[in-house]
Structure 1
Amino acid sequence: MSGAVRLLRQGAVATLLLDQPARRNAMTRAMWRTLPALVAEAARDASVAVLRLEGAGGHFCGGADISEFAETYATLENTTRANAEIGAAVEALAAFPKPAVAVIRGACVGGGVALALACDLRFAADDARFAVTPAKLGLIYSQADATRLMRAVGAARAKDLLFTARLVEAAEALRIGLVEEVCAAEALEDFVAQRIAPMVAGSRPALRAIKAVANAIEDGAEWESAELRTMFDEAFAGDDFREGYEAFLAKRAPVFRAR
């Protein structure tokens, strides 16, 4: 069904598919509202190790669907409600407790950049292009979205992207840190599968804990906080630690079973 967000599964990898290809996967109000529940479903599913976020067809996401703007922003009440829905969708993705990877082809614009930045890693095809466009509409990025952009590319570059709303090609996006990797469009699927494979084979509790620690540090956790120290220590009591070191001693690949 076009004009929707869909959750697909293939083994231990779930894909959150933005499916409105005729409009470059621009997000309708219904799509923003649907996204948090699907993210929560993937988080609850113990069989899911990694979440991919991508768009149907040749584009990632063209931002919010401008065809709805007249109604969406007709009143302050409507505006507040719509912005809360968009914020909730992006924050749900940012709070996903397992590794989340954005797979970016074609246009990644406005709210599409916000969605990509809410993922842990961003892998792009060489035909990807990016723009942070609120200024073109007389608007600004939310504080949360601007914070993630600044963390990715630095304050000065973030201001440049926000002030100018200019188009950034894939090579520049890689150079400034907006994405982690760029490869040929025809090779992107195989490249992403190779990068995800070690995560799928890894310890699920360890991956979740690594993400939690990294996010806490990024959010300003105190040095050697008691909560993070406990998380570190408890990993040594897990079944995956025993399997990991026994596999190392036996010179074999570990088979992690904890979920």
Structure 2
Amino acid sequence: MTDAPIYLDRHDHYADLVLNRPERRNALNAAMWTALPKLLDEAAADPAIKLLLVRGTGGAFTAGADISEFETIYATPDSARANTRAIAEGLDALAHFPKPTLAVIRGACVGGGCGLALSCDLRFAASDGRFGITPAKLGLGYTLNDTKRLIDAVGVSVAKDLLYSARLVDAAEALDIGLINRCFEPDALEAEVRAYVDLMLSRSTGSARITKRVIHLIRSGVDQDTDETRQLFLDAFSSEDFQEGYRAFLEKRAPDFTGTS
């Protein structure tokens, strides 16, 4: 264990990215945003990690930005720009992380915390989750990249509702509007996450990388195959994962993927 405010906790073939300020409901401070891209680079470079979970300690995902720092980090235009850049780099690094990501949400998932969850591929939540994107409570705006990720999840009309009102929604409504993928009772969340992790780890990491890249291109506005997407498709046929998957199919057994794409 560590007292670092954000850290990687490695397991067999997956890792947790842990937000670890339970005394502040895991409020995201400048040091955490700065550390985030470096930790993601470590996880991306580790071939043993096939899946990344993002979670908080102490009963909350994260209550959002650490407002106690605002007087300092927004004291000058230069410091404000530096902090805004650090937050954007952290969220974009998570959104572009090459392996599948899953936010495991309990309790508060608000403001920058909701932005962090939306930067993950999937979001599983306990029924005690509370969600909101709240710049309108502070007289602030929301960046284009963050707004696009919200719109991609819930659509334009619901995004306007959430941003204009800055209201909090419970997990049931979050599921209904597409803000989260699945909702479970609090005491069932970990077992359900573990079952899904096991399912993901039985699948091809190479396939997941291709799928994630193609979906990213589609969301970026690419609407026809390109040289890159055709090559991604063709390269898969020479991968170790395809050779294993093909042999396993012929031999009528479960494949044992290495994760090599």
User: What CA distance in whole angstroms lies between the structure 2 residues aligned with 1:133 and 1:258?
Assistant: 39
Once the 2 structures are TM-superposed, how far is the Cα of residue 258 of structure 1 from its aligned partner?
Answer: 4.1
Kept in 2: contact 1:2–1:21 (CA 8 A): no
Q: Does residue 242 in structure 1 map to residue 248 in structure 2?
A: no
Kept in 2: contact 1:50–1:98 (CA 8 A): yes
Once the 2 structures are TM-superposed, how far is the Cα of residue 198 of structure 1 from its aligned partner?
Answer: 2.0
Question: What is the DSSP-based 3-state SS (H/G/I as helix, E as strand, rest coil) of the residue aligned with 1:139?
Answer: coil
The corresponding residue for 2:67 is 66
User: What CA distance in whole angstroms lies between the structure 2 residues aligned with 1:75 and 1:243?
Assistant: 57
Q: Stretches of 4+ moved more than 3 A in 1?
A: none
The corresponding residue for 1:31 is 32
Q: Does residue 99 in structure 1 map to residue 100 in structure 2?
A: yes
User: What CA distance in whole angstroms lies between the structure 1 residues aligned with 2:146 and 2:219?
Assistant: 15
Amino acid at match of 1:16: L
1:134-153 superposed matches below 5 A: 134-153=135-154
Task: With the length of structure 1 as denominator, give the TM-score of the two structures.
Answer: 0.98
User: What CA distance in whole angstroms lies between the structure 1 residues aligned with 2:136 and 2:259?
Assistant: 47
The corresponding residue for 1:9 is 10
User: What CA distance in whole angstroms lies between the structure 2 residues aligned with 1:249 and 1:132?
Assistant: 50
Question: What is the DSSP-based 3-state SS (H/G/I as helix, E as strand, rest coil) of the residue aligned with 1:97?
Answer: coil
Question: What is the DSSP-based 3-state SS (H/G/I as helix, E as strand, rest coil) of the residue aligned with 1:236?
Answer: helix
Kept in 2: contact 1:39–1:96 (CA 8 A): yes
User: What CA distance in whole angstroms lies between the structure 1 residues aligned with 2:228 and 2:66?
Assistant: 41
Q: Does residue 21 in structure 1 map to residue 25 in structure 2?
A: no
Once the 2 structures are TM-superposed, how far is the Cα of residue 3 of structure 1 from its aligned partner?
Answer: 5.8
Once the 2 structures are TM-superposed, how far is the Cα of residue 123 of structure 1 from its aligned partner?
Answer: 0.4
The corresponding residue for 1:179 is 180
Amino acid at match of 1:26: A
Once the 2 structures are TM-superposed, how far is the Cα of residue 109 of structure 1 from its aligned partner?
Answer: 0.4
Amino acid at match of 2:239: G
The corresponding residue for 2:81 is 80
Question: What is the DSSP-based 3-state SS (H/G/I as helix, E as strand, rest coil) of the residue aligned with 2:52?
Answer: strand
Once the 2 structures are TM-superposed, how far is the Cα of residue 239 of structure 1 from its aligned partner?
Answer: 2.1
Kept in 1: contact 2:28–2:65 (CA 8 A): yes
Q: Which runs of 5+ in 2 are unaligned?
A: none
Question: What is the DSSP-based 3-state SS (H/G/I as helix, E as strand, rest coil) of the residue aligned with 2:222?
Answer: coil
The corresponding residue for 1:55 is 56
Amino acid at match of 1:241: F
Once the 2 structures are TM-superposed, how far is the Cα of residue 222 of structure 1 from its aligned partner?
Answer: 3.6
C-alpha distance after superposition, 1:179-205 (max 9, x if no partner): 000001111011011112122122222
User: What CA distance in whole angstroms lies between the structure 2 residues aligned with 1:243 and 1:54?
Assistant: 33
Kept in 1: contact 2:153–2:179 (CA 8 A): yes
The corresponding residue for 2:193 is 192
Kept in 1: contact 2:95–2:120 (CA 8 A): yes
Kept in 2: contact 1:199–1:207 (CA 8 A): no
User: What CA distance in whole angstroms lies between the structure 2 residues aligned with 1:15 and 1:164?
Assistant: 32
Kept in 2: contact 1:3–1:28 (CA 8 A): no
Inter-CA distance 257–81: structure 2 relative to 1 (3 Å threshold): same
User: What CA distance in whole angstroms lies between the structure 2 residues aligned with 1:55 and 1:132?
Assistant: 18
Once the 2 structures are TM-superposed, how far is the Cα of residue 229 of structure 1 from its aligned partner?
Answer: 1.1
User: What CA distance in whole angstroms lies between the structure 2 residues aligned with 1:3 and 1:106?
Assistant: 21
Task: With the length of structure 2 as denominator, give the TM-score of the two structures.
Answer: 0.97
The corresponding residue for 1:220 is 221
Kept in 2: contact 1:117–1:149 (CA 8 A): yes
The corresponding residue for 2:165 is 164
Kept in 1: contact 2:47–2:259 (CA 8 A): no
User: What CA distance in whole angstroms lies between the structure 2 residues aligned with 1:161 and 1:220?
Assistant: 24
The corresponding residue for 1:42 is 43
The corresponding residue for 1:233 is 234
User: What CA distance in whole angstroms lies between the structure 1 residues aligned with 2:140 and 2:62?
Assistant: 19
Q: Identity rate of aligned residues, in percent?
A: 49
User: What CA distance in whole angstroms lies between the structure 2 residues aligned with 1:34 and 1:224?
Assistant: 36
Once the 2 structures are TM-superposed, how far is the Cα of residue 124 of structure 1 from its aligned partner?
Answer: 0.4
Question: What is the DSSP-based 3-state SS (H/G/I as helix, E as strand, rest coil) of the residue aligned with 2:10?
Answer: strand
Count of residues in Structure 1 that have an aligned counterpart in Structure 2:
259
Kept in 2: contact 1:107–1:128 (CA 8 A): yes
